[in-house]
Chains A and B, each alone.
Chain A
Amino acid sequence: MFKNSCLIAIRAIFLNKTRAFLTMLGVIIGVGSVVLLTSIGTGLQLYVKEQFVALGTNILFVVPGNPFGESGGFGNQEQAFLESTQAKLKIRYLDKILRDNRDVLKDGVATGVGIATAKYKNVTKKVTLYGVTANYETVRSTKADKGTWFTQTDNAKSRRVLMLGAGIAQELFGQVDPVGKKIKLDGKSYLVSGVIEKRGGGFGGPSFDNYIYPPLNTLFSDFDTELVDSFIIETKDESLIATAKKRIETTMLQELDKDEFSVFDQTQLLDTIQSILGVLTAGLGGIAAISLVVGGIGIMNIMLVSVSERTREIGLRKALGATPNLIMLQFLIEATLLSIFGGMIGLLIAYLGSLAIQVYFPARVTLEAIILAFTVSSIVGLIFGVAPARRAARLSPIEALRYE
């Protein structure tokens, strides 16, 4: 009997293709937008994760202040900012950390930040200076795409050399090979030693490709700062991260108070970003889900009209032996099928859309999103099909047959 009701419902849908399509449109758009938006969110999460993995999973960061707060999220930003402006981190701490923990640590870089106006010929650009020691190349796996990295000696002697991020190199030099050329930073002349290979990033995070990387000591002497903004420390192995973190903290506690520094690893940062993106994805999906509800109401509207329009048909079916339950089943199945078909079309559109978006932006349609969209659309059809189906089931056969 259920199979027959399905057949009747499918037949009814195919008898009115245009109406069926228009009815489905709401659900198509609803499911399409939910899946597409969540696919973008999920894609972003995966992208961020990949970026972090690419940066190395055996990396620990030491920063001044406590940017993660007690609860793990980005805590007291104001406090963190104040901490970071005070030169709490000293290069000698890094030396000490590396010296004391040779068994677990491989290498470490101190970084400092400054701002300057860069000028090459008539191109002027405000840039972020990211002062690093020469071993930044190995610790952060940032190879020189053109030229070579400056040396430890360049750093030690505060020589005016620098590395360019791929992005800023393009902006300042265009097609010209920057290696060996000189650029001016706040009027002083620097030799371009090399260009770092493209690293990607962005989406609100630091844009490493647009930084200029002078030796840390050069940054300190030329830009009148002593501010070390982080240590980037490489452990010998990924498995040593937890041990290394404790050991670094122990060493640092000998120099600074508990609140004056933080040691964190990529996963901690990653977790925070992922949780933000997760909320964002859910939020976007939620907003899109409203259109799914609107789609459901659309189905209900059309089904109600359809019940009036097919009053005679319903009357006839009843006269020929259809029980109220069978009529109800027929219309419920019809509404649900419409919704599911709509969901499938929406899914297909979202999938194609995500493929198209992938050219510019990470997007990934997950199985969870598909299952969710499918379930929700069938439930929407079922719920919004009840009212029309009940109306159809309650029609009296005589009234219905008399209906013109």
Chain B
Amino acid sequence: MLLSLTNVTKQYQLGTTVIKALNSVSIDVAQGEFVSIMGPSGSGKSTFLQVASMLAEPTSGSIKLKDKNVTEYNEVERARLRNKEIGFIFQQFNLLARTSALNNVKLPLMYAGIKEDEQNQRARAMLDRVGLSDRLQNTPAQLSGGQQQRVAVARALINNPSIIFADEPTGNLDSKSGREIINLLKKLSHEGKTIIMVTHEPAVARIAHRLITFHDGQVANDSLKRHPTPISRLKTRPPKQVKNKKRIK
């Protein structure tokens, strides 16, 4: 098993009350799986993502990555692990402002201690792979939302990680760009990449092989799908724009 969480609990202290964001969750993810995570706000799906991606430590339970127990890793080991084994795609893209696409993609390589020449070569190749070979020197401000997210995907892939975590990857994109990104993730999945994606858009979730639904910090449903939605069908149901939704809130 590539990633396995056993009885993972995550508690937050909020004033005097203790919030159990994750309540004894056990999930196994195999190599090559494309997992969608859904659930209402506060259901624990984001916390699951943070804990599973080594950004946050669980309060209890154990996490194994590639059969190695990584639960007790300290901050430095976790940072190295994230650098090597995990790729992140965020809703807000999280690209460094005023920094070229090339330099953004190079960032994980830099922390991996890879030589400048190789960094450049690999970052160029990766940007070419996401269709941005003509945008190497553009800064995020000079790129469309879809292009920015593609830079982020390139950055997530650059260190050839074991798992890619995507947190609402289409949430900040218009429907066309959203489809492009979904397309890209699908392609990566076909190539054998393991992807865990949090989304609250059923249409987006449906493209994965497996759908896990969270409720009150626990897994409410975990189902495998034989025939995930083909990309072509998505066109009729464009992903909603979270940005607008947020504003209404």
Enumerate chain A interface residues (CB-CB to B < 8 A): 1, 4, 8, 11, 15, 312-313, 316-326, 396-398, 401
Q: Known contacts A4-B110, A317-B111, A401-B94; decide if A323 and B80 are in contact (CB<8 Å).
A: yes
Question: In angstroms, how far is the closest chain A Cβ from the Cβ of B139?
Answer: 10
Question: In angstroms, how far is the closest chain A Cβ from the Cβ of B129?
Answer: 19
Q: Counting CB contacts under 8 A, is B220 at the interface?
A: no
* Chain B, residue nearest A3 (CB): B116
Please determine whether A398 and B111 come into contact, CB atoms closer than 8 angstroms.
no
**B-side contacts of A398, CB under 8 Å:** 50, 55-56
Q: Known contacts A313-B96, A398-B55, A398-B56; decide if A319 and B76 are in contact (CB<8 Å).
A: no
Q: Counting CB contacts under 8 A, is B155 at the interface?
A: yes
Enumerate chain B interface residues (CB-CB to A < 8 A): 50, 55-56, 75-76, 79-80, 82-84, 88, 90, 94, 96-99, 103, 107-108, 110-113, 155, 159
Question: In angstroms, how far is the closest chain B Cβ from the Cβ of A266?
Answer: 62
* Chain A, residue nearest B165 (CB): A319
Q: Which of A313, A316, A325, A326 has the most CB of B within 10 A?
A: A316
Contact of B82 among A1, A320, A324, A396 (CB under 8 A): A320
Please name 28 pairs of A and B residues whose Cβ atoms are closer than 8 Å in the assembled complex, sorted by A. A4-B111, A4-B113, A11-B103, A15-B97, A312-B94, A313-B96, A316-B94, A317-B107, A317-B111, A319-B55, A319-B82, A320-B83, A320-B111, A320-B155, A321-B80, A321-B84, A321-B111, A321-B159, A322-B79, A322-B111, A323-B75, A323-B76, A323-B80, A326-B111, A396-B56, A398-B55, A398-B56, A401-B94
Please determine whether B55 and A324 come into contact, CB atoms closer than 8 angstroms.
no
Question: In angstroms, how far is the closest chain B Cβ from the Cβ of A78?
Answer: 71
Q: With A and B bound together, what is the CA distance between A4 and B79 in angstroms?
A: 17
**B-side contacts of A11, CB under 8 Å:** 99, 103
Q: With A and B bound together, what is the CA distance between A115 and B90 in angstroms?
A: 91
Q: With A and B bound together, what is the CA distance between A322 and B97 in angstroms?
A: 18
* Chain B, residue nearest A393 (CB): B75
Task: Taking A319-B88, A321-B84, A324-B75 as given, write out 17 further A-B residue pairs in contact, using a Cβ cutoff of 8 Å, ordered by the A residue number.
Answer: A4-B113, A11-B103, A15-B98, A312-B94, A320-B88, A320-B107, A321-B79, A321-B80, A321-B108, A321-B112, A323-B79, A324-B76, A325-B76, A326-B111, A398-B50, A398-B55, A401-B55
Please determine whether B99 and A318 come into contact, CB atoms closer than 8 angstroms.
no
Please determine whether A318 and B79 come into contact, CB atoms closer than 8 angstroms.
yes
**B-side contacts of A397, CB under 8 Å:** 55
Question: In angstroms, how far is the closest chain B Cβ from the Cβ of A378?
Answer: 25
**A-side contacts of B56, CB under 8 Å:** 396, 398
**A-side contacts of B159, CB under 8 Å:** 321
Task: Name the 5 nearest CB pairs between A and B, nearest first.
Answer: A321-B83, A321-B111, A323-B79, A323-B76, A320-B108
Please determine whether B76 and A316 come into contact, CB atoms closer than 8 angstroms.
no
Q: With A and B bound together, what is the CA distance between A326 and B83 in angstroms?
A: 13
Please determine whether A316 and B96 come into contact, CB atoms closer than 8 angstroms.
yes
* Chain A, residue nearest B139 (CB): A15
Q: With A and B bound together, what is the CA distance between A8 and B99 in angstroms?
A: 11
Question: In angstroms, how far is the closest chain B Cβ from the Cβ of A393?
Answer: 10
**B-side contacts of A8, CB under 8 Å:** 110
**A-side contacts of B55, CB under 8 Å:** 319, 397-398, 401
**A-side contacts of B97, CB under 8 Å:** 15
Q: With A and B bound together, what is the CA distance between A401 and B50 in angstroms?
A: 11
Q: With A and B bound together, what is the CA distance between A401 and B103 in angstroms?
A: 19
**A-side contacts of B99, CB under 8 Å:** 11, 15
Q: With A and B bound together, what is the CA distance between A326 and B88 in angstroms?
A: 20
**B-side contacts of A317, CB under 8 Å:** 107, 111
**A-side contacts of B82, CB under 8 Å:** 319-321
* Chain B, residue nearest A322 (CB): B111
**B-side contacts of A322, CB under 8 Å:** 79, 111
**B-side contacts of A396, CB under 8 Å:** 56
**B-side contacts of A325, CB under 8 Å:** 76
* Chain A, residue nearest B76 (CB): A323
* Chain B, residue nearest A7 (CB): B110
Q: Known contacts A312-B94, A318-B79; decide if A1 and B107 are in contact (CB<8 Å).
A: no
Q: With A and B bound together, what is the CA distance between A325 and B77 in angstroms?
A: 12
Q: Which of B50, B79, B83, B98 has the most CB of A within 10 A?
A: B79
**A-side contacts of B113, CB under 8 Å:** 1, 4
Q: With A and B bound together, what is the CA distance between A8 and B80 in angstroms?
A: 18
**A-side contacts of B110, CB under 8 Å:** 4, 8
* Chain A, residue nearest B93 (CB): A316
Q: With A and B bound together, what is the CA distance between A4 and B111 in angstroms?
A: 8
**B-side contacts of A15, CB under 8 Å:** 97-99
Q: With A and B bound together, what is the CA distance between A313 and B88 in angstroms?
A: 14
**B-side contacts of A1, CB under 8 Å:** 113
Question: In angstroms, how far is the closest chain B Cβ from the Cβ of A326?
Answer: 7
Q: With A and B bound together, what is the CA distance between A1 and B108 in angstroms?
A: 12
Question: In angstroms, how far is the closest chain A Cβ from the Cβ of B231?
Answer: 28
Q: With A and B bound together, what is the CA distance between A1 and B113 in angstroms?
A: 6
* Chain A, residue nearest B90 (CB): A401
Q: With A and B bound together, what is the CA distance between A65 and B113 in angstroms?
A: 77
**A-side contacts of B79, CB under 8 Å:** 318, 321-324
**A-side contacts of B50, CB under 8 Å:** 398
